[in-house]
Amino acid sequence: MKSLFKILLVILISSSTIFAAEKKGTALVLSGGGARGMSQIGVLREIERQNVKIDYIVGTSIGAVIGGLYAVGYTPDEIEDMMVKADWDDLLAASNFYNRDKMFIDQKKYYDRKLINLRFDDFKFQVPQAISNGYKFSEFLQSKILSSDYPFTSDFDNLKIPFRAVSLDIVKGKPYVFKNGDLMTAIRASITVPLRFTPVELDSMILVDGGPVANIPFEQAVEEFNPKHIIVVNTTSDIFTYDDLNNPVNIADQIVSVIMKSNEDMAKEKSDIYIEPNLLGIFNSDFIQLDTIIARGKQAAGVMDYSKLPKGKIKGSDYNENKDYMLNDIMVKGNNRTDDRLILSELHVNKGEIISSTDLFNLWQSIYSTELFSQVRVVPMIVDSNKIDVMVEVKENGTQLVLLGARVDNERNTQVELDIIRENFLNTGTRALLGASFGARNQKFVWSISNPKVLSLPINFNFTAYYNNILYRSYSPESLTNNNYNREQNGEYKVENYGFNVATGTNFDKAGKINFGFQLEKQRAYNLESEPNEFKNVSTFFIRTLIDSKNKSNFATQGTLIDLNFESNLLSLENDVNFSKLEFVLDAYVSPLSDFTVNPFVMFGLGDKTTPLAEFWGLGGQDMFYGMREFERIGRQIFVSSLEFRYKLPFEIFFETYASFRYDAGGIWDVPEQIKFSNLRQGIGGSLSFDTPVGPANFSLGNSFYFLKNPDRVIFGPLLGYFAIGINL
């Protein structure tokens, strides 16, 4: 009896082992290869045409991108459409990008002026891990995944097609296979080219592109799914010839390519179908000919024999229900310093309420836009038929920043700026700043404490103490010769002011705010040829509405800036200057055609007769009015309008290059009684501009003119040249 029992037990164990080892289904293995990997889209299209049933997908690098998007339900046509429309220069740009649309206005004014960003943590310099944080590409992936049929699925076996992404853990030197968690993070890690994108840190691992250890993830497919059939698509780079190995980039690429090709022979021998598109002459970075690359993939897949492979449509996971889910719970992990309320302040969904994929995407963008975190993962987990938990995982940045900026122009010569910032002061998102800017003609010192949003409340506040010292040129009255006028510089005057202001208010969305506050200041303005006069007291209250929806600080293509500010006396102190002034600015950007932007601009200012010289507006300068120097004309009343047409050239002169034409009309007056729109000055000019790593470089020519009657004629001013290189300080 015991012998019979032992025999039955052995048979049972053996049969279960055989059953567990049974091979099932067809796995699609997608290699890396950069732009060459786009040919995998054509392969998918042909596989669908042949009605081959794909049960599993395993991808590395670009193969993880294409495979991951296919696994969440996108069709080959949809994947091709998003890849062809993507701006790959932008997605792969070698720079740190911040999402201006998701920043509060008070944040924008700091980061718009950022040229060099040095970050410290407890006074220890944080060495950048790469030339780009990869935000733009991460945002691209996140938007596509959360817009799919599987936005809440964290178990990759429950996607439409079970999926794996392969990356390299450089701590252990081994491949790491993602099978669950945040799908965007999995794909982002798999495609993280070292030095170009910052590595993905997960638990104790540091993850980068899986190409060096599993560029064709054949073994990972076998280990993860034990498939009966395997289709391999190899789009890796060709080996360079001897003559091509003439620069460091090609040599480095050759070393990686040799490593990547080490498992090609095995994959070719053991796979059921091995597809290698003819991509001769196409390199990893050739994202400009995607139609051709995709077509070659379909062509290579079209000559294969699929007769031995199972046929049928993909059934998909039961989780593909496209229904509403309620938020069951939300947790935050990794925030050692930052308050949970600050991290979740932009999630306007309470527990028990319906949460959408758009809510998750906005939350992810908003957390990143605080600039307090180097990594953000928003991982939804289905816990019931209609409920999800959300895990927010963050890695905090160092909170000490040194921002450097610089500018050289024909008006103020060389200027430099230094800002020392303590972010997340008191762990509430408050920013403390000590800043200074220096130039031969202007100096500025600032100390401020501000918070764009107090935890989850829509309230902002700002305290700023400052000292300003600006030197302006003064000009002689016009001298007419025939139909030309000229003005000569006849002196200089200085404007000095110091004091502090306090403001608070409310935000509406992230593009705007309404603030009110008060300012106490001492100011003076005097001619350099005379003795400095005494400082005058200024005590004013102000109300300001500011809206800034521009998509970029420089070379914006869409969005609007609206600034409405009213200022008037608050107190009447001894030696006080009493005045009131109103200013309005409208700066809009519209792009009716690709690479072509129209920029209408309107500004007016009204000051009463007691407005002092230090509060005057100025007309002129490269950015404001062609044909005049900066502050060439000054007054208490101003009106300026302009219309600019800007075109992004189809070629680059070292950097992205723009040509623009602008027409200006405006005037400036001392008292309201002098205002006459019939005697507005006109300006016309053009610029050649470059979007350089140190900021915009603008080179312009412009002329101003006006009309006279009796007899009718046009009076022209001198043709003026301008240049400015660097950010606005």
Q: Is the pLDDT of residue 27 over 70?
A: yes
Rg (CA), the chain: 32
Q: In the structure, what pLDDT confidence band is assigned to residue 107 with cuts at 50, 70 and 90?
A: confident
Closest CA to 451 of 521, 517, 503: 503
Q: Is the pLDDT of residue 11 over 60?
A: no
Q: pLDDT tens across 392-410, in order?
A: 999 998 899 998 889 999 9
The residue-averaged pLDDT of 704-710 equals: 89
What rounded mean pLDDT belongs to the chain? 88
Tokens of 472: 């302006």
Q: In the structure, what pLDDT confidence band is assigned to residue 16 with cuts at 50, 70 and 90?
A: very low
Q: What is the pLDDT of residue 10?
A: 46
Q: What is the pLDDT of residue 263?
A: 67
Q: Is the pLDDT of residue 256 over 70?
A: no
Q: What is the pLDDT of residue 1?
A: 47
* Dist CA 508 CA 510 (whole Å): 6
Burial of residue 41, with CB atoms counted within 10 A of its CB: 0-12 exposed, 13-18 middle, 19 or more buried = buried
Please, what is the Cα angle at 518 between 517 and 524, to 5 degrees? 140
| Beta strand spans in 608-655 (E) | 617-619, 633-635, 637-648
Q: What is the pLDDT of residue 45?
A: 95
Instruction: State the amino acid at position 641 in one-letter form.
Output: S
The residue-averaged pLDDT of 243-269 equals: 68
Secondary structure letter of residue 189 according to DSSP: H
Give the Cβ contact number of residue 648 at 10 Å: 19
Instruction: List the domains of the chain with CATH numbers.
Output: 24-96+133-237+271-303 (3.40.1090.10), 325-396 (3.10.20.310), 400-726 (2.40.160.50)
* Dist CA 421 CA 119 (whole Å): 9
Q: What is the pLDDT of residue 12?
A: 47
Q: What is the pLDDT of residue 97?
A: 62
Please name the residues in contact with 68: beta carbons below 8 A apart, sequence gap of 6 or more: 57, 59, 141, 145, 163, 165, 183, 186, 187
DSSP string across 693-720: TTEEEEEEEEEEEEEETTTTEEEE---E
Q: pLDDT tens across 143-191, in order?
A: 999 999 899 989 999 999 999 999 999 999 999 999 999 999 999 999 9
CA 710 vs CA 183, 288, 714, 715: distances in Å:
75, 60, 11, 13
- φ, ψ of residue 509 in degrees (nearest 5): 55, -160
What is the three-class DSSP state of 535? coil
Distance linking the first and last C-alpha atoms of the chain = 93
Contact 205, 211 (CB under 8 A): no
Q: pLDDT tens across 365-385, in order?
A: 889 888 889 899 999 998 888
Q: Is the pLDDT of residue 15 over 70?
A: no
Burial of residue 26, with CB atoms counted within 10 A of its CB: 0-12 exposed, 13-18 middle, 19 or more buried = buried
* Dist CA 24 CA 301 (whole Å): 23
Beta strand 512-527 with 489-508: parallel, antiparallel or unpaired?
A: antiparallel
Please name the residues in contact with 490: beta carbons below 8 A apart, sequence gap of 6 or more: 474, 475, 476
Contact 565, 513 (CB under 8 A): no
Q: pLDDT tens across 315-355, in order?
A: 665 554 557 889 999 999 999 888 888 888 888 889 989 99
Q: pLDDT tens across 463-495, in order?
A: 999 999 999 999 988 888 888 999 888 999 999
Per the model's pLDDT, the better-predicted residue between 50 and 371 turns out to be: 50
Q: Is the pLDDT of residue 429 over 90?
A: no
Q: pLDDT tens across 650-674, in order?
A: 998 989 999 999 999 999 998 887 8
Q: In the structure, what pLDDT confidence band is assigned to residue 679 with cuts at 50, 70 and 90?
A: confident
Q: pLDDT tens across 624-636, in order?
A: 999 999 999 999 9
Q: What is the pLDDT of residue 14?
A: 45
Q: Is the pLDDT of residue 550 over 80?
A: yes
Q: What is the pLDDT of residue 253?
A: 60
Contact 434, 450 (CB under 8 A): no
Q: What is the pLDDT of residue 432?
A: 93
Q: In the structure, what pLDDT confidence band is assigned to residue 212 with cuts at 50, 70 and 90?
A: confident
Tokens of 126: 């944080």
Beta strand 459-475 with 442-451: parallel, antiparallel or unpaired?
A: antiparallel
Q: In the structure, what pLDDT confidence band is assigned to residue 269 with cuts at 50, 70 and 90?
A: confident
Sheet of strand 387-396: strand arrangement: 354-355, 325-333, 387-396, 373-384
Per the model's pLDDT, the better-predicted residue between 386 and 80 turns out to be: 80
Tell me the percentage of the chain whose pLDDT exceeds 70: 91
Q: What is the pLDDT of residue 13?
A: 47
DSSP string across 44-109: HHHHHHTTBPP-EEEEETHHHHHHHHHHTT--HHHHHHHHHHS-HHHHT-SS----GGGS-HHHHH
Q: In the structure, what pLDDT confidence band is assigned to residue 18 with cuts at 50, 70 and 90?
A: very low
The residue-averaged pLDDT of 693-711 equals: 91
Contact 91, 140 (CB under 8 A): yes
Q: What is the pLDDT of residue 279?
A: 87
Q: Which long-range contacts (CB under 8 A, 24 or more apart) does 262-271 make?
A: 263/214, 263/215, 263/216, 263/218, 263/219, 264/216, 264/234, 264/236, 266/218, 267/29, 267/216, 267/218, 267/232, 267/234, 268/232, 268/234, 270/218, 270/230, 271/29, 271/218, 271/230, 271/231, 271/232
